[in-house]
């Protein structure tokens, strides 16, 4: 079967963009009742553009797999997976936990694979990849000496693909908690029920950077602390830390992580709403040397981005009330639809409202094992801004 693009829509595919939307397909009405399958993609002039997974149920109706006229089978996925793994071997990551496969950025649209010590967590986001789950699992076990694979395909976005949410063992036995090491620190990761695939691997570089900004004796506030990684990095540099998260299971795990790093005496973890907590602390006159704002995505849609911007504004405004000149602020967003400019705008509005001058120290993005493609803006999602209060 083949899909034909409307006139002019072939340009972005030729420029390495991988997604084709329903309204870009000339013959979609004829195909909308077809099952998920691999199709040839052609231009309005009948030029072959590549092969793609086609899913008429999804708003993103087709995802390019290859620009070549090649067979999509086990060997295809074995080659792509091997290439992704080989790229990671060249990275100088001081951890036994990293992302091995990053979906579109590794030319395997819809597949996420994270490695935690000797275990893999696999996440399937599309119906096309779901149809090759057995083959992909076999390839991973053939290429890597691992003890088990756990599936965490439990994201709501699968419903648009016509898929149920799933989680459970795919290979071997995978314990709920696995201990990893990162830059000399240890963390227990909840592979079965933790957020994302269990741990925010994409914040690894930012955790290292924030530790370098901390001075012994600093007071740090870590908002949306999850299982305590940023808090523990800061405490290991000699800071006293308050970590806040609304998820009790997360703060319980954070306390365990502080304990195994022998830092419990330097960190207090609070279970509560970060918005309410930061406002309460600000109103009580608390002061900090560093405040970390790293919330979950808060929105998965473009429509929700403006509301998220103002949520950041509220968090930043209350945080700035507690930072004196020389104090530092880290603001991070993992929501693709919240652009870097929107994040900067939220910070600027908040600083103007409170009358504080801020210097941008740095702007960072996701680490190398979470690559992004210039022609595929959706592959860039993590943005972090570091600031210093001047006056």
Domain spans of the chain, in order of start: 2-66, 74-178, 200-389
Per-residue confidence (pLDDT) for residue 303, from 0 to 100: 85
What would the mean pLDDT of 319-348 be, rounded to a whole number?
Answer: 96
Q: Which of 201, 206, 237 has the alpha carbon at shortest distance from 219?
A: 237
Measured distance CA(273)–CA(130) in Å, rounded: 36
| DSSP annotation string for 172-196 | E---SEEEEEETTEEEEEETTTSST
pLDDT tens across 51-69, in order?
Answer: 999 999 999 999 999 999 9
User: Is 114 marked within a binding site?
Assistant: no
Measured distance CA(5)–CA(13) in Å, rounded: 10
pLDDT tens across 129-187, in order?
Answer: 999 999 999 999 999 999 999 999 999 889 999 999 999 999 999 999 999 999 999 99
**Mean pLDDT, rounded, of the chain:** 96
pLDDT tens across 3-35, in order?
Answer: 999 999 999 999 999 999 999 999 999 999 999
Residue 377, both tokens:
């803006």
Per-residue confidence (pLDDT) for residue 391, from 0 to 100: 83
Residue 333, both tokens:
């967003």
Per-residue confidence (pLDDT) for residue 174, from 0 to 100: 98
Is 74-178 in the same CATH topology as 2-66? no
- Is-contact 258 232, C-beta < 8 A? yes
- Is-contact 132 170, C-beta < 8 A? no
Residues 6+ apart with CB under 8 A from 219: 239, 240, 241, 287, 288, 289, 290
Residues 6+ apart with CB under 8 A from 230: 203, 206, 207, 210, 222, 243, 292, 294
Residues 6+ apart with CB under 8 A from 99: 88, 112, 113, 114, 115, 201, 202, 369, 370
- Is-contact 336 105, C-beta < 8 A? no
User: Is 245 marked within a binding site?
Assistant: yes
DSSP-derived letter for residue 107 is T
Instruction: Tell the CATH superfamily of the 200-389 domain.
Output: Vaccinia Virus protein VP39 (3.40.50.150)
The mean-pLDDT minimum among 36-50, 293-307, 319-333 falls in 293-307
CATH architecture of 74-178: 2-Layer Sandwich (3.30)
Per-residue confidence (pLDDT) for residue 356, from 0 to 100: 96
Measured distance CA(383)–CA(344) in Å, rounded: 10
Judged against a pLDDT cut of 90, whether residue 41 lies above it is answered with yes
User: Is 294 marked within a binding site?
Assistant: yes
CATH code reported for the domain at 2-66: 2.30.130.10
Measured distance CA(53)–CA(20) in Å, rounded: 10
Could you list the active site residues?
334
Per-residue confidence (pLDDT) for residue 299, from 0 to 100: 80
Q: Count of CB atoms within 10 A of residue 218's CB?
A: 18
- Band of residue 302 on the pLDDT scale cut at 50, 70, 90: confident
Per-residue confidence (pLDDT) for residue 45, from 0 to 100: 96
What would the mean pLDDT of 290-314 be, rounded to a whole number?
Answer: 90
Per-residue confidence (pLDDT) for residue 258, from 0 to 100: 98
- Band of residue 271 on the pLDDT scale cut at 50, 70, 90: very high
């Amino acid at each position: 079967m083949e899909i034909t693009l409307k006139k002019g829509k072939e340009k972005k595919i030729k420029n390495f963009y991988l997604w084709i939307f329903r309204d870009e397909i000339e013959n979609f009405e004829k195909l909308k009742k077809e099952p998920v399958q691999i199709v040839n993609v052609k231009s309005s002039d009948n030029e072959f553009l590549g092969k793609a997974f086609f899913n008429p149920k999804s708003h993103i109706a087709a995802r390019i797999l290859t620009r070549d006229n090649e067979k999509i089978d086990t060997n295809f996925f074995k080659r792509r997976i091997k290439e992704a793994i080989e790229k990671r071997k060249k990275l100088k990551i001081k951890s036994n936990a990293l992302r091995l496969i990053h979906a579109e950025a590794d030319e395997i649209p819809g597949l996420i694979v994270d490695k935690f010590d000797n275990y893999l967590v696999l996440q399937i986001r599309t119906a096309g990849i779901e149809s090759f789950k057995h083959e992909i699992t076999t390839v991973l076990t053939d290429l890597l000496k691992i003890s088990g694979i756990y599936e965490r395909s439990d994201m709501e976005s699968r419903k648009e693909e016509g898929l149920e949410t799933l989680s459970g063992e795919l290979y071997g036995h995978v314990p709920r908690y696995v201990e990893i090491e990162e830059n000399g620190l240890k963390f227990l990761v909840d592979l079965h029920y933790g957020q994302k695939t269990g741990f925010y691997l994409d914040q690894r570089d930012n955790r290292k950077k924030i530790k370098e900004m901390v001075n012994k004796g600093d007071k740090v506030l870590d908002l949306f602390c999850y299982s305590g990684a940023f808090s523990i990095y800061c405490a290991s540099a000699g800071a006293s830390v308050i970590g806040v998260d609304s998820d009790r299971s997360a703060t319980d795990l954070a306390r365990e992580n502080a304990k195994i790093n022998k830092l419990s005496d330097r960190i207090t973890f609070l279970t509560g709403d970060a918005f309410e907590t930061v406002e309460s602390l600000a109103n009580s006159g608390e002061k900090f040397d560093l405040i970390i704002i790293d919330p979950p995505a808060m929105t998965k849609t473009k429509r929700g981005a403006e509301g998220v911007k103002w949520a950041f504004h509220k968090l930043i405004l209350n945080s700035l009330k507690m930072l004196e000149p020389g104090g530092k602020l880290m603001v991070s967003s993992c929501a693709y639809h919240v652009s870097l400019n929107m994040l900067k705008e939220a910070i600027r509005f908040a600083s103007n409202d409170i009358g504080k001058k801020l210097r941008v120290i740095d702007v960072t993005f996701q680490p190398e094992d979470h690559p992004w493609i210039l022609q595929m803006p959706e592959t860039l999602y993590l943005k972090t801004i570091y600031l210093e209060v001047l006056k």
